[in-house]
Amino acid sequence: MPKVLNVSNFLRLGSLGLLGEVSLLAYLGMAWLSQEFVHGQGHRQRPIGLFVVVYLIVWGFAMLALRQTRRLSHDRLGMGVIVSFAVLFRLTLLFSQPIQEDDFYRYLWDGKVVASGLNPYLVAPLTVRNPAASDEEAQRFAHLARQDENMAQILARVNHPHVPTIYPPLAQGIFALAAWLAPGSLLALRLVLFGFDLAMCGVVVAILRHCASNVLLIVVYAWSPLVIKETVNSAHYDVVPTFFLAFALWCGLKEKLMAAYASLALAILGKMYPVLLLPVFLWRTVRLHGCRQALFGFGVVCTVIVLGYMPFLDAGAMLWQGALAFADHWQSNSLLFPLLVWLTGERWMANVVVVVLLGCTLIALLHVYDVRVEREFLWVNFLAIGALLLLSPVGNPWYFLWIMPFLCVFPLRSWLLLSGLLGLYYLWFSFVYRGAVETFRWVIWLECVPFYGMLLWEWYATRGGVDESPASAKPGVRVAL
């Protein structure tokens, strides 16, 4: 039976709608600012600082909207307002210029390569740009650029061109799908990612309903400027494997075990991060259904992953060259990992420390929490993936899309704050263009210190018995907006 729309609910709906309207104006401003971000032009004149201000403003509006939805009891109308504006925000940026990002050029090139029946792991783009006459493989790739001026321009703009693609099989399939729709089209790629983005909203709502949580908490994801900017404007691909992880979690909650394991395998095929969560899924299955079902689930994961890699196995050792280069050299926007490198003296030792810390964290979580309990199952997955992101050598904003679905269930102040502070990352480019790269180190501290401070306060509040939100908000820590 629908709830009565009393005066209080009506006023909150009006406030929510007003927040949506002013946010839409801000996103229109962001789209207007994006026109100044033309590839290879006017670097020092780009309004990066103004963009960051607009980003923080829409984040603030999203947090105010979250406060309204936690007090709103009329689900249907509230959901209509949230979803309508969420779609409008994304449509506003659908035709905007990408702001300070160029990863999508690699996506478009890989998509064209795969759609043409070639293996993107075989040849680095730099080799394709200047193929040797005797290199028949490189000549086949170069032909794609010679026959299409747009693809030639895309190839010329691929970043880190000396490294073969680092993106795993699921990514290649998504890139090929976009190329099949319209080769070399950023709009086609954005529409594919937009589809997964909206599907994510549906899965998160299903999880919230299953957990008897307020479904209007979907506003955390749907109105997040981190999600909207990185998925629609920057066309980063992380929303796809994150969707399959969220779907795996929902299937796990619904006891659809094989679908859960298959979807988790697809998430791993999209990015290696979710492999950390496989023990959580297996341990829950063992506790609920026994070892035989867990072994069968493990077999499903292995089978899906092997099938995903099979079309690319002719690349041999080249299949892993890009990923290994990423693991050996990439480091960006991270606070903890550089400290580990400084303490250990070697990057490889820091990598070992990270692996040990993640393993110990996972063991501790599985010991402390009962994953048979649905909310604790979600909580353990959230903490595990959060620890991985914080310890990673690369902390680019779009990597943190992985935690946004969890924040709808567990809206922690610390992580919500981080989703806003990550917008400061883009100031790095402004410092680079002005020859002051070292100054950016202070920006990383501006991102991380408030976050870790809030995280410690949440821990202290729990230990000290402070309780500012309903006990159903989350297991363990009970402090939220």
Average per-residue pLDDT in the chain?
89
Percent of the chain at pLDDT exceeding 90: 66
**pLDDT value at position 5?**
58
Greater model confidence, 180 or 465: 180
Tokens of residue 241, six digits? 């494997």
**In which band, very low, low, confident or very high, does the pLDDT at 73 lie, cut at 50, 70 and 90?**
low
**In which band, very low, low, confident or very high, does the pLDDT at 32 lie, cut at 50, 70 and 90?**
very high
CB 134 within 8 A of CB 144: no
What are phi and psi for residue 154, nearest 5 degrees?
-60, -45
End-to-end distance of the chain based on CA atoms, in angstroms? 28
Model confidence at 251: pLDDT above 90: yes
**pLDDT value at position 470?**
35
Sign of CA dihedral 235, 240, 245, 248: positive
Model confidence at 471: pLDDT above 50: no
**pLDDT value at position 440?**
67
pLDDT, tens only, 95-116: 999 999 999 999 999 999 999 9
Model confidence at 478: pLDDT above 80: no
SS3 332: strand
What are phi and psi for residue 413, nearest 5 degrees?
-60, -40
Q: What is the pTM of this model?
A: 0.92
Give the C-alpha separation, 412 to 65, whole Å: 15
Tokens of residue 233, six digits? 């404007």
Percent of the chain at pLDDT exceeding 70: 93
Three-state DSSP string of 198-222 = HHHHHHHHHHHHHCCCCHHHHHHHH
pLDDT, tens only, 273-302: 899 999 999 999 999 999 999 999 999 999
Q: What is the mean pLDDT of residues 70-86?
A: 84
**pLDDT value at position 477?**
44
**pLDDT value at position 459?**
85
Q: What is the mean pLDDT of residues 23-42?
A: 93
Distances (CA, A) of 160 to 156, 330, 466: 11, 11, 49
DSSP characters over 210-267: HTT--GGGGHHHHT-HHHHIIIIIS--TTHHHHHHHHHHHHHHHTT-HHHHHHHHHHH
Q: What is the mean pLDDT of residues 225-250?
A: 96
Give the C-alpha separation, 263 to 340, whole Å: 33
How large is the C-alpha radius of gyration of the chain? 23
